[in-house]
Copies of this chain bind each other. A is one copy, B any other.
């Protein structure tokens, strides 16, 4: 297996050289799809593109699917988050750089020859999220081939092309290809492992509900001397409005926001069993104190959250002007849990804004609206993706836990709900239980500058998938439509 893993490193690096921000270039995404389809075919696997407008997805499979074996559909995504190249400590997010744990740059050859230290890291957009798992799958299958082994499950793979941005068409693609993609279990390879870096299995994820909120002042920017104290400042109004969403400790104060969120004894026990070290987390991310939403990190991410992803109003720094801005905008990203679906949180946010005295408009206010309402705001319609919770007792979970325990000689960390959002809703039409198997280091700077993948995790990920492919899956007690 080691040789197949080392062989795959060149493909990993080559894959990372392909820019993959769907919202910026569909041509880039097609290039990714063409490339990975060809790679799977080159090694003898079935592979084809699944048409989806300008951004095809890719399907691949072990060539001999047997009705005697259960079928597992692995999911990962090819696309990455937008980048701000100037924030990266390297020439380009698309030119992978190998570094030591201390940050010293190493020649890439060291990685490609299989000589990298487990603590070295490869830096590039999507190095971890989510191209590494795709190449790990290829490496694990190649290892089986090299060893002359047949997998204990039928292996299918679906590679999404716009998980990080662009239209969410996964559901349509799945529905159109339901026969091809039919499976007894779905394993999503996305998101980070537990911070302890121990093998991790995740039974669900939070959902998402985002919108943008703009507060309006006067029709145009105004001179702050002539109108300061007179014309309401929309940045000040937005700040005050946003301040009503949370208390000083980070708890959401929107009425009803947490309604229905209760944890049973089994879930509380699972929280307690996760080997979190909050002091270490705080040191790692550089904070003195966490928000006090939950009694622990695990409990915190089992609540819905309200997050300001960005704020913009006029300018700061060298371009600042002595004006009252004409508007101020906040990008809001909420995370949902099964008890608090996206549409409910969006409705609560809307009602909360109105309860603060705002009249909601449909874009830029009309003159009549400006003359009529002292407080004007525009809240975009927003969208959402539901949370997922597979029961902690489900056979599909037991299958993965058993395999990981055998591969690594220790029981994996079992996480009831991960904090991030994974587009499982599009896969639910297949009617198979869904589990998440994160394989990348938690400190990978996912979605941000200097995204990276720890080399030791890459090797361990191939082992995990190789082991899982060789573990028979018995779902005889599985509820199919959970």
Contacts and interface: CB of A to CB of B under 8 A. Distances in A.
B447 A371 contact: no
Contacts of A282: 371
A246 to B, nearest CB: 6
Interface stretch (A93-101, A295-303, A474-482): A295-303
A393 interface: no
A289 B312 CA distance: 24
Interface residues of A, number: 99
Contacts of A321: 81-82, 309-310, 447-448
Interface string A409-452: 00000000011110000000000000000000010011111100
Interface stretch (A49-57, A136-144, A237-245, A339-347): A237-245
A192 to B, nearest CB: 7
Contacts of A42: none
A394 interface: no
Interface in A326-346: 328-331, 333, 335
Nearest to A23: B318
Nearest to A310: B314
A225 B239 contact: no
Given A287-B370, A307-B224, A316 B320 contact: no
Interface string A177-211: 00000000000000110000000000001101010
Interface in A357-395: 357, 367, 370-374
A224 B333 contact: yes
Interface stretch (A148-156, A213-221, A453-461): A213-221
A286 interface: yes
A301 B371 contact: no
A36 interface: no
A319 B317 CA distance: 20
B230 A297 contact: yes
7 contacts: A206-B225, A218-B285, A220-B445, A221-B445, A231-B290, A309-B324, A322-B421
Given A221-B447, A288-B373, 16 more contacts: A81-B321, A192-B226, A212-B316, A218-B285, A222-B448, A225-B335, A229-B300, A230-B419, A232-B291, A235-B308, A288-B370, A288-B371, A309-B314, A309-B321, A316-B329, A322-B333
